[in-house]
Structure 1
């Protein structure tokens, strides 16, 4: 009997960004077809919150005080762009005073979506199943 293959895990930090009208920010990275929350892999020695703050700035130009992020917990789902991998995200919430974001770094497109836009938006499993429902609870 052979051992089961080890789970291939991708660790990231993700930010559920909302604006006062209740829309959530999603981004689509270069070379991908689905949208997800801003975020990414922590650099060596970087904590989850530090990575969230840095990735949000790099991907959207949003400068936010780390104290304004609310921890949401750790979530896992199938990775959108790496077949056979699981993404495990330390997630944080951030509410902005207005929808000020610009596509930067590796971002091709960003969108502000409402709860009614989810079905028509191609979304990563982690975003669709775990993170976006938190934006509208």
Structure 2
């Protein structure tokens, strides 16, 4: 009966919920595009990721501005270009933890240190410099 309900329903929120229950991701994507709701994009992105539709998941997570979801996706795929773009986006939005993790996974240790200093996280910056960049620390 859920499929029949999806065919006759007119309310976008109800149709989205029905499409998600049925796993009809393309239908749900069309509705999310219509409605432009961040929670719907996030929900669709999570379902797409768990269904193995990674391109759709990436698109949905970008629409939802779900930076931690994108971090999970890019790090799982080993997508260095995606991590680099995500680091820039996260830094612009003040999501320094996500930006730091992206930079660290990319091996950009000096950028990590600079980010910690810029965000006034001096104790962490000192520990980072001492552990990974001894030439940058003062004794």
* Range class of TM-score, shorter chain: under 0.3
- Largest Rg, 1 or 2: 2
Higher strand share: 1
- TM score, norm. by length of structure 1: 0.24
**Which structure has more RCO (C-alpha within 8 Å, separation ≥ 6)?**
1
Higher helix share: 2
